[in-house]
Amino acid sequence: MKAHPTAYAAMAQKVTVVCVAAAMTFGISGTAWAVGPIEVGYDLIEFTNPETDLSTDDTDDIGLDAALGDVVEYENVFPGVDAKVTVLDITNLQDEVDKIDEGQDSAAVNFDDTPMWVEIDPPGTNGEPAIGGPGSATLRVDFFVSGGTFTAPVTLNEIGITLKDVDSDQYVTFYDASSYALSSEPETVLTATVEAGDVTIADISGETASALDEENWATVTYAAAESITVTVGTLQADDAEFGLLFTVPDWSADPTEILLGGAEEDNLADTGAKGVTILGAFGLALAVAGTALARTSARRR
């Protein structure tokens, strides 16, 4: 499934970056340049945390106790690209968003690269349903021309995002995505509920998974985007962590890619168990309703 930019696209990206660098060198505002789309080709967009202990690879947490409207900024997430992450919505969490990006040892969590690691905690006792229903947080990632000013938005082509740790009673909604894919071999334990270009991925298996369990993996793609909005949520009172890895994985067997939106929408079928019908017993219907309410604010710029 993993694609690579053509030689022409790669050259176009380099030209764009050179032009931006030249603009900064000569003191010209990035907004004065008509920067074209940057070709990612599903390669890694890296949300790096500053290291605090090189001997253990422990890293700083970013966005601790983030409240509604809080913003964190990253420089150089991809050649020529900076990124800004904004908290758009908080629903039924114990406090704020525990961490927008928890520092993790990538080897310890079986990731080859650096994901954006979001942590939330709904109220209640661990191991029991969250008091007051599902808890969730909605974040928007905006992309900008590099330079540290975060003033010149830029469109990225061919973005991939992978989740390798969708555990029991957790769900993630991606808005306005182009496609999604779940494991076919081994058979996925996840469900996908689709509404137009929005897809909610959930786990109702009742078992905790590790990042090595491909049956718990999910991938979404964006053909082109200058911002991406995602809701992470859980039905349980436990701390819930979500590793958003901005690339596509090496699957053991190629999964079936399902296109979203437009004429393809009529051909979509839920993958795995029947999503809302079965998940309703766990309250996911309420969770999906919550993400629908969040969509209004998620799409406001």
Encode pLDDT of 67-78 as tens digits.
Answer: 999 999 999 999
Q: Name the least confident of 57-61, 109-113, 138-142, 202-206.
A: 109-113
pLDDT at 280: 40
pTM: 0.77
Q: Band of the pLDDT at 288, cuts 50, 70, 90?
A: very low
pLDDT at 238: 86
Q: Is 113 exposed, middle or buried (0-12, 13-18, 19+ CB in 10 A)?
A: middle
Higher pLDDT, 271 or 166: 166
CA distance 13 to 259: 26
Q: For the residues 32-59, what does the mean pLDDT come to?
A: 77
The torsion defined by the Cα of 45, 176, 122 and 192, in degrees rounded to 10, comes to: -100
Higher pLDDT, 225 or 270: 225
Token duo for residue 86? 């904004």
**Residue at 260: amino acid letter:** L
- Give pLDDT tens digits for 106-141: 555 556 567 888 999 999 998 899 999 999 999 999
Residues 6+ apart with CB under 8 A from 284: 134, 171, 202, 204, 235, 275, 276
**Of the segments 21-30, 41-50, 89-98, 264-273, which one has the largest average pLDDT value?**
89-98
